[in-house]
Amino acid sequence: MSDSATAAAGLLISSTLSTKNVVAHERREELKMNQTSPRVRFSVIGINHDHINGQIGAATRGGGEFVSFYAKEPELGAAFAKKYPQAKQAEDKREILEDKSIQLVLSAGIPAERAPLGIEVMQHGKDYMSDKPGITTLEQLAEVRKVQKETKRIYSIMYSERFENAATVRAGELVKAGAIGQVLQTTGLGPHRMNLNTRPEWFFHRERFGGIICDIASHQFDQFLFFTGSTSASIVASQVGNLHHPQYPEFEDFGDVMLRGNGGMGYIRVDWFTPDGLSTWGDGRLTILGTDGFIEVRKNVDIGGRSGGNHLFIVDQKETRYIDCSKDPLPYGEKLLDDVLNRTETAMTQEHCFLATELALKAQAQAQKISLRK
């Protein structure tokens, strides 16, 4: 293909995707205006992480009605009730589990407690959306897979760095359209700010949070599988360490992984070293290398000067382009509710959900411990 034809093809892909996004957004707004009753009634059990707000937002945008919630911690429940006055506060989680009108349960409880709750939810005939990590041990994963297969309910883990980041959604559309050829490798970086004074006690105990790769890197494993199209993968190497927080001996503040799948390769780095000088909690980045170009997503910030997040850069055989994705739609919530109603797998296949978690758990389990000489 000539240089001019390549450039024209790239512009056509961008223009077509932009038009599709506008049409899809207009269609969603039309459906909302014509909707007289909620599509799905959902509740919340477990509010130990602020990610629950994004989960509620996704389900609400998808046409769901937030009906009730349960929190075993009175202080968390009181603040949550003020934020969501439309939702009834249940005195016991059984009120929600046994309410036949509730179709979907959301949770951002303590990580180690999310899988046992999800099992209960599925056994009560409801679908489940967990914050990540949705599962913290391989034993939990085996039991969750067993119950999900028996009940045929949905066990969805909201990998928000893909589902709730519009630039990453757009990157998926570009890759699917062939904008950078065949994907060869993904590099996913997930730095986070420590915010020591705001962290609860459970945050520093390995058994409760699962380890840094299990926790943060579950996002990056999800993206690796999605963008390379891999349906199987193995861990080439992984390592973790507590390099700067000796006062918390069970904590891990650094981890990285190299992996190989049947659709491509991947590298992941996660850490708790975002400095206070950054305007957001972490400079999350995703680079997708293809045979005909590459895409870089700056999820939360462009330290080069552009404001806000959702920045996408694409380089092909002809040029470098920047795309502001901040106004792009986020379809996960709507698709998940479609799946709840239609018993489909449009938001994410169940096998993909579990495989991303399995890889994170295996990488965590076999990670070499590292330390640095002071």
How far apart are the C-alpha atoms of 124 and 191, rounded to whole Å? 37
- 142-163 residues labelled b (16+ CB within 10 A) or e (exposed): ebbbebbeebebbbbbbbbbbb
How far apart are the C-alpha atoms of 307 and 170, rounded to whole Å? 18
SS3 213: helix
Tokens of residue 367, six digits? 């990670």
How far apart are the C-alpha atoms of 88 and 84, rounded to whole Å? 9
**Torsion sign (Cα): 162, 166, 168, 174:** positive
How far apart are the C-alpha atoms of 317 and 3, rounded to whole Å? 7
**Domains of the chain with CATH codes:** 40-158 (3.40.50.720), 162-332+361-369 (3.30.360.10)
Encode the chain (374 residues) as per-residue pLDDT tens digits. 444 444 445 555 655 665 555 555 555 555 554 556 899 999 999 999 999 999 999 999 999 999 999 999 999 999 999 999 999 999 999 999 999 999 999 999 999 999 999 999 999 999 999 999 999 999 999 999 999 999 999 999 999 999 999 999 999 999 999 999 999 999 999 999 999 999 999 999 999 999 999 999 999 999 999 999 999 999 999 999 999 999 999 999 999 999 999 999 999 999 999 999 999 999 999 999 999 999 999 999 998 889 999 999 999 999 999 999 999 999 999 999 999 999 999 999 999 999 999 999 999 999 999 999 87
Enclosing H/E stretch for 286: strand 285-290
pLDDT value at residue 19: 57
Paired with 297 in beta bridges are 286, 312
pLDDT value at residue 20: 58
How far apart are the C-alpha atoms of 155 and 91, rounded to whole Å? 25
pLDDT value at residue 16: 60
Paired with 66 in beta bridges are 42
Asked if residues 356 and 218 have their Cβ atoms less than 8 Å apart, the reply is yes
Phi, psi of 311 (to 5 degrees): -100, 135
Cα dist. 283→111, 115, 223, 302 in Å? 23, 29, 16, 8
pLDDT value at residue 5: 47
Asked if residues 107 and 117 have their Cβ atoms less than 8 Å apart, the reply is yes
pLDDT value at residue 124: 98
pLDDT value at residue 172: 98
pLDDT value at residue 305: 84
**From the CA atom positions of the chain, what is the Rg in Å?**
21
Query: What is the Cβ-side half-sphere exposure of residue 274, based on CA atoms within 13 angstroms?
Result: 20
Report strand pairing: 104-108 vs 40-47. Answer: parallel
Query: What is the rounded end-to-end Cα distance, in angstroms, of the chain?
Result: 55
Amino acid at residue number 342: N
